[in-house]
Amino acid sequence: MYSLSHNSKESIRSKTGKTLKDITIENIMKGKISADDIKISKEALKKQGDIAKKHGRQQMQQNFNRASELTEVPDELILEIYDKLRPYRATKQELLEMARTLKNQYGAIDCGKMIEESALVYEKRGILKT
Amino acid sequence: MKRSKRFEILDQRPVNKDGFIDEWPEKGFVAMESPYDPTPSIKVQRGMIIEMDGKKREDFDFIDQFIADYTIDIASSQQSMSLDSLDIARKMVDIHVSRKEVIDIVKGLTPAKIIEVVNHLNVVEMMMAMQKMRVRKTPSNQAHITNMKDHPAQIAADAAEGALRGFREEETTVAIARYAPMNAIALLIGSQVGKRGVLTQCAVEEATELALGIRGFTTYAETISVYGTEEVFIDGDDTPYSKAFLAAAYASRGLKMRFTSGTGSEVLMGNAEGKSMLYLETRCIMVTKGAGVQGLQNGSVSCIGIAASVPSGIRGVLAENLIAAMLDLEVASSNDQTFSHSDIRRTARTMMQFLPGTDFIFSGYSGTPNYDNVFAGSNFDAEDFDDYNILQRDLMVDGGLKPVAEEEVIEVRRKAAKVLQAVFARLSLNPITDEEVEAAAYAHGSKDMPDRDVVKDLASVDELMKKGTSGIDIVKALEETGYTEVAESILEMLKQRITGDYLQTSAILDEDFQVISGINDKNDYQGPGTGYRVSKKRWEEIKKIPHTIDFNGL
């Protein structure tokens, strides 16, 4: 299966559905390729996750699963969530609210779970915003 | 006392300008074994770790809890923990035991148990173990490309030369923070002019670094720091959870990344909880593993002054590199900061990684003179290129570099600066003059470069960021200015993030943009005749140093 660029050249798609063949200088000059077209897709990340697991890298697969969920989340929101996860930045309610948004609005179940967990850990360790 | 002439001379030796300190465990000044390090233990109840290294779950700090919940393989942990540490240590150097067998044991160990294992090894055994345990079969090298003036033409030229010399990753940072996008662009373009497929990064504050990556100005990231005590982690303004989220964010944009940690950081930041540096570093490595990150830059890194000041500190640095490899992580093994006045000592420190080979022996080697290295110098600098090449030749070791011809270097430096000049004009960045291009072609460092108009530089780069310029615009600018080949290279680099092949452990790209990683270039070392061997072709490269005696002249 690996590497995908070698073995799945035809089938692999970017986040916006472009194939590797579509992404050419010619198409860039024609204005047909935007920055979004060079983002990774959910599916490609899932595949890389499967490859990682097959090689004994369980945690890496979990990371790629969380990443695949985040492909749908806008850049600004990602930066905002990251900032809120830093020490003393968010109340427990804010963290739980963020987890809910990720789960309900973006189907980001694993990311949501990790943030819910962080809310409990931050509470226990006293690093929530007061 | 009348002074001995011998001792007077010795006192003046460079090594005696270095700082040394006796062990002081209460303050964390102890490399590998502190009397306050915990004793290994594990208790699992209903699939959850309820006690680790003598601490109960309710007393876990956030690092303990993250490691217990995310890193340790609970299914195999009791079996692994029941093994004798000495037996595990022996397996690591036993050529009849495969890498995989060791990995499968180590994934179930606690931090205290891991250091107990490593403490059984002397440095030669650690090197033997590293030879087997590093992830990628082919070793590689990374460069620092920075300068005191943040001069873009020099960054491009140094990046091109570095790529030509063999570095497969290049890292820049800034003297003035707002230069970050400009330096990243100069590095991206210069590196591809030198040799195709080199990965580049710009080390800045976490959120900015991610933003540059998303834009397509960098192709990987490294400066994602993790720490070994809760208090220092908080001082670093992060937690294992925020860092794990950041890791997922990078992967979600198809960007390769690794974390950074190193012995001594907790001592330097004033809170080591009396633990040994290696114990705390092992916690960092395990946080990295638990976050599902593919690799780690470690080996004391910018805190090498601390590690190098205590007994067995340099051995401890090798130990931390080794532990990262044991946990199946890519290792960019430091050697990246000036720490000693003694050439003997700094060389010895680097041999620990150079001889067995690591995924990146340096992280990085300074591709500039020491004074231009904004990361506070490196252990080896541009002035040491020939020494390094000759060490490779003397020992028939592949340290990732090769000798190059002067005219070739001048040519590639000039081209890199010229290409950047064209792109700057196209993107309306503060222009690079012909004089600057010529200076960059021949320069050793920024003292040989004209000054830039900093105010104009920064204004133009702010404008560029406001316009939302991305990697695609750089490709366009290159094509429009007639540099199609470079445009294609940059585009190929951007396309890496669609397949995500280079997100796998220890990935680099070859000159045809094909990925070489721990999946398709697995380290299979099991004694003589196995693992990485210097090929004929590579040996010819290594041997070709410029200053040899001409047979005809004899």
CB pairs under 8 A between A and B: 200
The pLDDT score that the predictor gives to residue B462 is 97
- Smallest Cα distance from B32 to chain A, Å: 27
How many domains is chain B partitioned into structurally? Answer: 1
pLDDT per residue over B127-156, tens digit each?
999 999 999 999 999 999 999 999 999 999
d(CA A124, CA B170): 41
Domain co-membership, A114 together with A67: no
Whole-angstrom Cα distance, residue B371 to residue B388?
Answer: 19
Note the pLDDT of residue B84: 98
Q: Domain with A100 in it: what CATH number?
A: 1.10.1510.20
Q: What does R_g of chain B's alpha carbons equal in angstroms?
A: 23
pLDDT score of B197:
98
Asked if residue B384 has pLDDT above 90, the reply is yes
How many domains is chain A built from?
2
The partner residue sitting opposite B479, judged by closest CB among A6, A29, A44, is: A29
Q: Are residues A52 and A103 in the same domain?
A: no
**Could you tell me the CA-to-CA distances from A33 to A39, B465, B467 in Å, in that order?**
11, 19, 17
How far, in Å, CA of B529 to CA of A117, rounded? 49
CA B24 to chain centroid, in Å, comes to 29
DSSP conformation class of A22: T
ipTM higher than 0.85?
A: yes
Q: Do the beta carbons of residue B15 and residue B345 sit within 8 Å?
A: yes
Among A71, A103, A118, the domain boundary falls at A71
Query: Which long-range contacts does B121-124 make (Cβ < 8 Å, 24+ apart)?
Result: B121/B89, B121/B92, B121/B93, B121/B319, B121/B322, B122/B315, B123/B315, B123/B318, B123/B352
* CATH code of the domain in which B52 resides: 1.10.220.70
pLDDT value of position A9: 87
Say whether both A81 and A116 belong to one domain: yes
pLDDT in tens, B227-267: 999 999 999 999 999 999 999 999 999 999 999 999 999 99
Q: Supply B491's token pair.
A: 């585009």
Q: Is the pLDDT of residue B553 over 80?
A: no
Note whether A55 and A78 are same-domain residues.
no
What are the C-alpha distances in Å from A77 to residues A84, B32, B172, B206, B427?
Answer: 10, 42, 27, 15, 28
CB contact under 8 A, B237 and A41: no
- Rounded distance between C-alpha atoms, residue B451 and residue B167, angstroms: 28
Of B150, B169, B336, B521, which residue is the catalytic one? Answer: B336
Distance CA B194, CA B187 (A): 11
**pLDDT given at position B314:** 98
The reported pLDDT for the residue numbered B516 is 98
Mean pLDDT score, B324-351 = 98
| Contact assignment for B210 to A48 by CB distance below 8 Å | no
pLDDT band at B551 (very low <50, low <70, confident <90, very high): confident
B375 found inside a domain: no
Q: What are phi and psi of B508, to 5 degrees?
A: -130, 175
In B166-236, where does DSSP find H-type helix?
A: 180-194, 206-215, 230-235
Which of 88-117 (A) contact B at CB < 8 A?
111, 114-115, 117
| Three-state DSSP class for residue B230 | helix
**Which has the closest alpha carbon to B414: B403, B422, B426?**
B422
Pair B490, B192: CB distance under 8 Å: yes
Catalytic: B125? Answer: no
Give the pair of three-digit tokens for residue B18.
């270095």
| Beta-strand runs (E) in B363-444 | 363-366
In a domain, B395, yes or no: no
Query: CB-based contacts of A72: which residues, under 8 Å, 6+ apart?
Result: A42, A106, A107, A108
DSSP reduced 3-state for B48: strand
Q: ∠ at Cα B200 (B232, B159), nearest 5°?
A: 120
One domain for residues A110 and A80: yes
Q: Answer whether residue B100 is part of any domain.
A: yes
CB-based burial, B269-292: b 16+ in 10 Å, e otherwise: bebbbbbbbbbbbbbbbbbbbbbb
Q: Same structural domain for residues A64 and A79?
A: no
Is B434 an active-site residue?
no
Q: Which domain holds residue A108?
A: 74-130
Give the nearest partner residue to B495 out of A38, A78, A117, using CB atoms. A38
Say if residue A85 is in the same domain as residue A48. no
Is A32 part of the contact surface with chain B (CB cutoff 8 Å)? no
B96 a catalytic residue: no
**What's the mean pLDDT when you consider all of chain B?**
97
Q: How far apart are CA B399 and CA B534, in angstroms?
A: 10
Residue identified by tokens 């198809």 is B254
Q: Which residues of B480-494 are buried (b: 16+ CB within 10 A; e: fewer)?
A: ebebeebbbbbbbbb
User: Is residue B118 in some structural domain?
Assistant: yes
Q: Residue B70 falls within a domain, yes or no?
A: yes
Report the sign of the C-alpha dihedral through residues B430, B466, B216, B181, in that order.
Answer: positive
Cβ atoms A62, A110 nearer than 8 A: yes
pLDDT score for B195: 98
pLDDT per residue as tens digits for the range B466-514: 999 999 999 999 999 999 999 999 999 999 999 999 999 999 999 999 9
pLDDT recorded at residue B550? 87
Q: Nearest chain A Cα to B251, which residue?
A: A67
8 Å CB contact between B530 and B131: no
Query: Quick one: which H or E segment has residue B516?
Result: strand B515-516
**pLDDT reported for residue B554:** 76
Across the range B410-436, mean pLDDT stands at 98
Tell me what percent of the residues of chain B surpass a pLDDT of 70: 100
Q: What angle, rounded to 10 degrees, do the helices at B206-215 and A75-85 form?
A: 160
Q: Which of B498, B512, B524 to probe by mutation at the A interface, max A CB count within 10 Å? A: B498
Provide mean pLDDT across the span B178-186. Answer: 98
Buried b (16+ CB within 10 A) or exposed e, B84-104: ebeebbebbbbeebebeebbb
CB-hemisphere CA count at 13 Å for B395?
A: 13
Q: What's the CA gap between B245 and B261, in Å, rounded?
A: 17
Residue B520 touches chain A, beta carbons under 8 Å: yes
Cβ(B161)–Cβ(B129) below 8 Å: no
Instruction: Kindly list the distances between the CA atom of residue B524 and the CA atoms of A121, B131, B373, B416, in Å, as whole numbers in the listed order.
Output: 40, 10, 36, 38
Which residues from chain B sit within 8 angstroms of residue A4, using beta carbons? 499-501
Q: A86 vs B500: CB contact, 8 Å cut-off?
A: no
DSSP assignment, residue B522?
B
Rounded CA separation B105/B110 (Å): 11
Residues A67, A7, single domain; the answer is yes
The type of residue at B505 is T
Pair (A80, A94) in one structural domain: yes
**Residue B383, Cβ neighbours under 10 Å: how many?**
13
* A81 shares a domain with A45: no
pLDDT tens per residue, range A1-26: 899 999 998 899 999 999 999 999 99
Q: How many angstroms separate the CA atoms of A63 and B248, rounded?
A: 6
Percentage of chain A exceeding pLDDT 70? 100
Q: Is A79 helix (H, G, I), strand (E, B) or coil?
A: helix
CA angle B499, B503, B509 (to 5 degrees): 80
The helix (H) or strand (E) run that includes residue B492 is: helix B484-499
Residue range(s) defining the domain that contains residue B80: 42-133
Residues of B whose CB is below 8 A from A114: 241, 244-245
Distance separating alpha carbons of residues B381 and B423, to the nearest angstrom? 29
Query: Do A4 and A60 sit in the same domain of this protein?
Result: yes
Q: Judge whether B93 lies within some domain.
A: yes
Confidence tier at B5 by pLDDT (50, 70, 90): very high
Nearest-by-Cβ selection for B292 from A60, A69, A85:
A60
Contacts of B58 (CB under 8 A, 6+ apart): none
Residue B145 to residues A27, B198, B261, B405, B479, Cα–Cα distance (Å): 33, 13, 21, 20, 25
Q: How far apart are CA B96 and CA A7, in angstroms?
A: 34
Is A38 in the same domain as A25? Answer: yes
